[in-house]
Structure 1
Amino acid sequence: MFYNERLMHFASYHLQGKPVPNGDWVARLMFKDFNTLDEVKEETIRDRKRMLKDLARFKEDARLIEETGYDSLGERHLRLHESVSNAPNVDHSAYKVTDTYLEMRTPFDEKRGIVTLGFACVLAAPVGLGLPMIFFKLIPSLFSGRHFSSGGDLYLGEYIGYTFIIFLILGFFGVVIRYGWPILRLENLVQRRLLVRFNRKTQKVYVHRPAYAGGIVELDWRRVSVAMVDPDREESLAMGVPMMLMWPPDATPSGVLEMVMPGRLARGNSELTNRWEYIRRYMESDPNKPHGLPEPNTVGKIPWPWKSIGAALSLVWPLFKIRALWFLIPLLVLIAPVMLLYAFGHFASHWLCWEPRWPNAIEQACGDGLVERLKLIGIDLVTWGMGAATIWALLRYL
């Protein structure tokens, strides 16, 4: 789930020539010397180089963009006082809107489940068979000196064999933990989602991420620059495009470029322009008066099973939007089992996570209290309860 956010976090430090905090072998792989990678990765490498080049230009031209609306190459950038739409909305992208803050999702919430399924396949046999054998058969046999099935005395070779099997299985778990932990925590044993909160009273933007993806930061709204929003772009050319907000290094607590992508992937260019217009008007309006913007269709935080099915279908929604691809729709019947498996992985990936909670200072600035905390606890309990019920049903009926 946090692959893209982690990549952006690494890119920010890479631009400054600084070592990545919480760096591990995944970080080194993402930004190792481009010339040493395999040829099959050349296109990805070109995309990363292009991304780094664009980010470097923004870092150097940030002040020029703020003052003139253009970078050093003459490309236009939107500024806070410029309106781009007459129909502002953040439908399907906001969790909550009050007169104090606007809390939004990020675009890659649906992209989760593959890591969970992969680790489930890798650990199924060691956990389901290996650990019970160690604790209920091998270790009792070693202590009692008798074979766990026949009850006869153990020979020296059996002592050595049992001990070897125990160390082999535990060693396997050690290798998985040592090298697989950074990958596992991309969507498990970590907060369940990223949050972006716009506070119109403090004129701050708060970003809630795991520590390895940049952590929790507080940013100044007045220093933001928006990217990927172009009111002159054709509607279809923005399908699947995220909206990106950026802050220059001198406006961030870490001293490196900060990037955040509020909202889902766009279904068209109008969605991007309408979303930015909503955020812009919300933050630019008088904080002592109601924001006066239309109430959006908000997104719930409880990961119900049908949402996971929707996440699987979201991977193929361009087929329904682009007429030239309609001939591929019948093929969905063939990949339906794969999509169901992905939906299950997406659903299961929520069970080993928890709802992110803002620090006390940010909660107080946003006016959150005990009720909001209890809601987060309730979401966790419901999610963990669904996970326990699903696991019980699988063990009971399969």
Structure 2
Amino acid sequence: MKMNTKGILFVYTMPLVLLHESYGFFVPGYPTKHISVSPQGKLLSTRSIPSTTTKPSLYSPSTSTSSLALKSSASSDDVQSITATNKLDSILSKLTSAFPFFVLGSAILGLMKPSSLQWTNQGTLISWMLASVMCATGLTLEKKDFTNVLAKDFAAVPAGVLCQFLIMPLTAWAIGRTFLLPLPDYGPSLFLGIALVGCSPGGTASNLVSLIAKADVALSVLLTSCSTILAAGVTPLLVKVLVGNAIHVSGWTLCEATARVILLPVLMGMIVNAKLPNLASKVSRFTPFASVVLVSLICGGVVSQNSSMFLSSKALLPLIVGSVMMLHCVGFAMGYFVPKVGLKFSEVTSRTISIETGMQNSALAVVLARSMGASPVASLPGALSATVHSCLGSILAGYWHSKNKKGKEESSESNKKDFTDRPEDDYPELLI
């Protein structure tokens, strides 16, 4: 199947067009306020501005650098500099929010024009891509990220980790045994592939989805960090137990691969953040979108490597997609109802655990399948998983966000009355 240069550009620019048209769904706009301050930096008055006039960023790659104190005495150069910084952060935020579109576009490109992404399959390039994503994750982690959540909601952490390492692996095993293993030729490889997806928690996109869904972002970051680090030892063990009888799995090879592409890069990022915080802060402004690009290339590269199989056996693609979709749907559902109904956790905590359970580190599943020397077909469930869980997570986040919209508007009106009724001297200096 041939595609010209215009076709390639179309596939890669469509995510931006779709993001522009549906941005209100993935990252809904919030009602905002015009704020007046005195020369001393005191809040004087507020007035509401309709949400249709602005679409603020929900995911700022550099919250610490953009949250600067502004007073009326600030120079015009400072204001222009801060405005430019905020605009750049807003652009990067919107691009990062288009994660499902970029992954889907890359997968379509890999299927329709395989030669355009075959370069990603050379040597260990995909492993280096994933290691870069994990290092970027480490750049955002600090000790206080762990201590704050543990002090506030300690029980949610082990509950969330257990949901990730029990629900998804067992579900993947059941789906793989039932639908994929009996397939001729490709059965064992696809069974291994979906098992790797189920045993690879810690999807970095879950933090963004938690933010949109009004879940506990701090808890999401902690669960992602814990599951990512634990995966270095637990993932090889789970895969060996689940598929060891159906296909030969080298536990040592899996341990070495997970340590190389997860544990070491995350630790390296954390060390840089601790020793060179200014550098880490500057770099971390760009790492979320860079991670989106790298994960998209990984998934597109795997699809391009197996495009001929898809085109020759068109009945296989719906079966793989259906199995992967079933896995993630069960993960989202069980990850919500077990904490909510069984453990009596709060709505916010249950949403967070649901998102963390349903969204997996698909790129890790791809890299592990390659590291084991398995058939290229074993990488397919991981490549398709990235697209599936990103789309499902975004839909779920949009539903939960719209469910909270009425309560948020009422809270906004209440806060407005509180601001206008308080004496001027009671207001602290304004931070924006």
Higher helix share: 2
TM-score band w.r.t. shorter chain: under 0.3
Higher strand share: 1
Query: TM-score normalized by structure 2?
Result: 0.25
